[in-house]
Structure 1
Amino acid sequence: MTGGPRQIWVDASAGASGDMLLGALVGAGVPLEALQSAVDSVAPEPVTLRVEEVRRGGLAATRVHVEMAESHHHRTWRDVRELLDAQPLARRVFERLAVAEGTVHGVPADDVHFHEVGALDAIADVVGACAGFAHLGATSVTVSPVAVGSGTVQTAHGTLPVPPPAVAELLRGVPTYAGAVPMELCTPTGAALLTTLATAYGPQPAMTVDTIGVGAGGRDPEGHANVLRLFVGEPATATGGPVLLECNVDDLDPRVWPAVIAALLEAGAADAWLTPILMKKGRPAHTLSALVDTERATAVRAAIFRQTSTIGLREQPVTKHALDREFVAVEVGGRQVAVKVARHDGVVVNAQPEYDDVARAAAELGRPVADVLAEATALARRFR
């Protein structure tokens, strides 16, 4: 899809699985052919996706069946990684699965045998879901608190508590809760997909929804609508105006911060800054803030996630009052130094030399920066 920024909210309040995500994507308008083509490109054996319209808890929903001949080929993460060589997003999802399974079973990730999560149907779920989100052109994906269920579940390792250990490991740091029914509501595949695709967690953000997809799980328990919903649309602030992006970070090497701020400014932030804070248990940390016009917010969000260790952002529209300004120049030792002149109601209220020009002129003249700054500031006073 093309156009402006696309916002997706995933309502996982009834749980999440790979097939539920596939159904929601088809229900939101992704052609089944786009998902099938992606699966065909990696599946080592024939796999067919079939759509069925069903009801879950009285709600109309879309079920996507993953159909194949019976296979007893258990694949390790090494095997799956080779299959997904040309699918980097799907490869990241399975890497999360491998690391989580390896952690809970005490084996290296490369040696994990994917039992429930590694068969062909899981490969189809992951590859198809990743292709579906790409088709929708998602620039941000917010995931609700995830219902994980309660009780016990039968697995290849025997009876396990819900959430199963791999799901609990995958959802570390993510808002979760038991949910309404004593059954497994979130599968390892669903957890890995959500945590890989999410750019934020929380309730539905401010957005103008144009499409809703409702994906069905395989079971239809009484009193529980076993569905996952996708809300697709545009951010409500997409008509313009600045927004403030913020996150708290307590585990980043402080030497990296200047490069982070430079990257945000390069991505389009009007301003970016750090505020020292003290978090729970006395942990020192920083709040990273970025002020950005809505049109450039997507790029700045991506830069924050790429450059820092945060897994979530706060965002709010703000009102900004800016003075009219223009640039003029003064000459110090034959070097041009730009001066920013600001006016309020037509009257000059500020005139300041640009520091980068001052530093460059000082280096070329072999003079202290403080001296060149003082001279440029004195020359700038004539504009006031």
Structure 2
Amino acid sequence: MPASALPASFRFPSSPGRGTMKTLFYQCSAGISGDMNLAALVDLGVDRSYLVDQLGRLRLESEFTLDFSRAEKSGIWGIRASVMVKPVSFARSNSPHRHGSRHAHRHYRDIRQIVVDAGYSSRVETRCLRIFHLIAEAEARVHGCEIDDVHFHEVGAIDSIVDIVGAAICLDYLAVDRVICSSVELGHGFVDCEHGTLPVPAPATAEILKGVPCRIGGVDGEATTPTGAAILKGTVDAFESPENFRIEHIGYGIGTRDFRVPNVLRVMLGELADEPASNGGDGRQSLEIKANIDDMTPEALEPLMERLFEAGAADVFLTPIVMKKSRLAHMVSVLCAPSSRDALVDALFEHSTTIGVRIQSASKRILPRTLLTLETRFGAVRVKVVELPSARSRWKVEHDDVKKLSILNGMPYGEIRKDIEAEVGTLLVAGHGAAGDQE
């Protein structure tokens, strides 16, 4: 059935439009730290008064002050953020890691409670907890302890708390659909920290950035900190260079290091167009989220799929696989729009036994389609009509409608489906021209 034969209200667009997504692009040619990220996002356009006000929810104002100032590196002007830690005395701890009176080095479990008690939106809280978890998990693995017992300088220091929570607040303020990032410069050499002199990248940084495209050796010294690495890993949808990207705003976060390249983090906000399609399709960007599960029964996977669809999945499917030690398992694959990523990852963690997911960018090519509702002698039925690149079309009746009409009419499913399809074919020929091919 040619598209021109359909009623005007159901016509396919003669030239399928390309959608756009509000996209934030991180260019980490000189690495990233928590303060550089905060500065870049403020320079991009986040209202600093709003940020400071939201940080006040943490009730830690007695421990720090946050200052923003104009700064320059190699002729590039931007914003420098400084978290000034106030001298505060704390009660002695039984932990062997006592760090004096400058600031508290809290346990991971304490940080979680501070964030939850702050009463942020679910989006901000979820992103904060994800970033903190990445650092705590990496530190626990490096130091050989349980994650809730992690008592370490990076995530427990007040400046890192401000950097991480501030990042989540800024990203929520910008309300982007997608976050992408270039490869990440790590630097090289050695860095002094509370555990001694460590190689660059620091062990926690390397652990966090597993699977992320990185460069090592572009600058001397530590270019990317554990906090910066975790902000990227917990935020970025895809590590890739953008195509069809229209830049609208640019922000520069100015660092304090003197590298042979400018110690600057650049962020760009703009619109990322869907990939151009050919031969009548309408290419779109989406994400594919995957998890391998070997300890859930098939019955338990069905409600998981329902939860994923409720959380915004465009499609969910299961693939039988064989894992290590010859364990039979299922790979859960979820297709979604970038804006649904956080909700779907949370749903996988909440409603399945998986402890990790893989996320990758995927290009989709979608044929133009429309949905007709036709009246048959058995009742109303929806019919999906798809236009092929050759301008031919094919159609298919909706299973749920056939199932409902089977029950209402007291007829076997196979019999009523055959009768409905015959009647739909006749209606399409009579009302709209050639019926096209039936699926």
**TM-score higher than 0.5:** yes
1:147 CA displacement: 1.3
2:359 is aligned to 312
Distance in 2 separating the partners of 1:177 and 1:142: 17
| Alpha carbons 1:35, 1:129 under 8 Å: kept | no
Q: How does 1:69-108 map to 2 (within 5 A)?
A: 69-70=86-87, 71-85=102-116, 86=118, 87=120, 88=125, 89-108=127-146
CA contact (8 A) 1:151 1:182 kept: yes
| Alignment map for 1:208-247 (pairs within 5 Å) | 208-221=246-259, 223-237=260-274, 243-245=284-286, 247=288
d(CA) in 2 for partners of 1:209, 1:317: 23
Does the C-alpha gap of structure 1 residues 342 and 63 become closer, same or farther in structure 2, counting only changes over 3 Å?
Answer: closer
1:326 Cα deviation from its structure 2 partner: 3.1
**Corresponding position of 1:24:** 40
Pick which of 166-175 and 243-252 moved more: 243-252
After TM superposition, the structure 1 = structure 2 runs for residues 1-384 of structure 1, keeping only pairs within 5 Å, are 5-42=21-58, 43=60, 45-70=62-87, 71-85=102-116, 86=118, 87=120, 88=125, 89-221=127-259, 223-237=260-274, 243-245=284-286, 247=288, 249=290, 251-252=292-293, 255=298, 256=301, 260=305, 263=308, 267=312, 269=314, 272=315, 297-301=337-341, 305-306=345-346, 310-316=357-363, 318=365, 320-322=367-369, 326-332=372-378, 336-338=379-381, 340=383, 352-383=396-427, 384=429
**1:31 shift after superposition:** 2.4
- The offset of 1:262, in angstroms, is 8.5
What SS does the corresponding residue of 1:23 show, helix, strand or coil? helix
Q: CA separation of 1:232/1:120 partners in 2, compared to 1, >3 Å: closer, same or farther? A: same
Amino acid in the other structure paired with 1:168: A
Distance 1:318 1:156, change over 3 A: same
Query: Aligned-pair distance for 1:166?
Result: 0.9
- SS of 2:222 mapped into structure 1: coil
Measure the CA separation in 1 of the matches of 2:236 and 2:401: 42
- SS at 1:173's partner residue? coil
CA contact (8 A) 1:342 1:348 kept: no
CA distance in 2, matches of 1:58, 1:163: 28
CA contact (8 A) 2:291 2:333 kept: no
Q: TM-score, length-normalised on structure 2?
A: 0.71
Retained in 2: the 8 A contact 1:7–1:141? Answer: yes
Cα distance, 1:247–1:107 mapped onto 2, change above 3 Å: same
In 2: Cα distance, 1:249 partner to 1:343 partner: 28
Q: In 2, Cα distance between the equivalents of 1:268 and 1:169?
A: 30
Supply the AA of the counterpart residue of 1:115: H
**Closer, same or farther in 2 for the Cα pair 1:172/1:364, shift >3 Å?**
same
Cα deviations across residues 43-82 of structure 1 (Å, max 9, x unaligned)? 2524211122222234223211111323243211122222
In the aligned structure 2, how far is the partner of 1:92 from the partner of 1:357? 41
CA deviations on 1:320-349 (whole Å, 9 max, x unpaired) are: 444x763212224xxx151528598xx997
Q: Structure 1 stretches of 5 or more lacking a match?
A: none
| 3-state SS, counterpart of residue 292 of structure 2 | coil
Equivalent pairs, count = 368
Q: CA RMSD in A?
A: 3.8
Structure 2, unmatched stretches of 5+, are: 1-19, 88-101, 277-281, 349-355, 430-439
> 1:374, 1:154 → 2: CA distance?
75
Cα distance between partner residues in 1 of 2:168 and 2:393: 53
Q: CA deviation at 1:306?
A: 4.9
1:91-137 C-alpha deviation (Å, 9 max, x unpaired): 33222222211111011222222224421111111122221112212
Report the secondary structure of 1:251's partner residue. strand
Verify the 8 A CA contact 2:403 2:413 in the aligned structure 1.
yes
Paired with 1:141 and 1:343, the residues of 2 have a C-alpha distance of 32
Percentage identity across paired residues of the two chains: 30
Query: Aligned equivalents of 1:233 and 1:17: distance in 2?
Result: 23
| Whole-angstrom CA distance in 2 between matches of 1:229 and 1:146 | 12
Q: Which secondary structure state, in structure 2, belongs to the residue aligned with residue 209 of structure 1?
A: strand
The amino acid of 1:77's aligned partner reads: Y
Q: Which amino acid aligns with 1:235?
A: L
Answer yes or no: is the 8 Å Cα contact 1:36–1:48 preserved in 2.
no
Letter in 1 for 2:234: T
Note if contact 2:33-2:229 (Cα within 8 Å) is conserved in structure 1: yes
Structure 2 Cα separation of the partners of residues 232 and 187 of structure 1: 23
Q: Secondary structure at the match of 2:187?
A: coil
Structure 2 residue matching 1:191: 3-state secondary structure: helix
Q: Is the 8 A contact 1:61 1:215 kept in 2?
A: yes
Q: Go from structure 1 to structure 2 and tell me whether the alpha carbon gap of 1:348 and 1:140 turns closer, same or farther (over 3 Å shift).
A: closer
Change in 2 beyond 3 A, CA 1:340/1:26: closer
CA distance in 1 between counterparts of 2:63 and 2:235 reads 27
Could you tell me how far apart the structure 1 residues matched to 2:250 and 2:321 are?
41
Q: Deviations over 1:288-341 (max 9, x none)?
A: 585x9xxxx45455565455665433244747444x763212224xxx151528
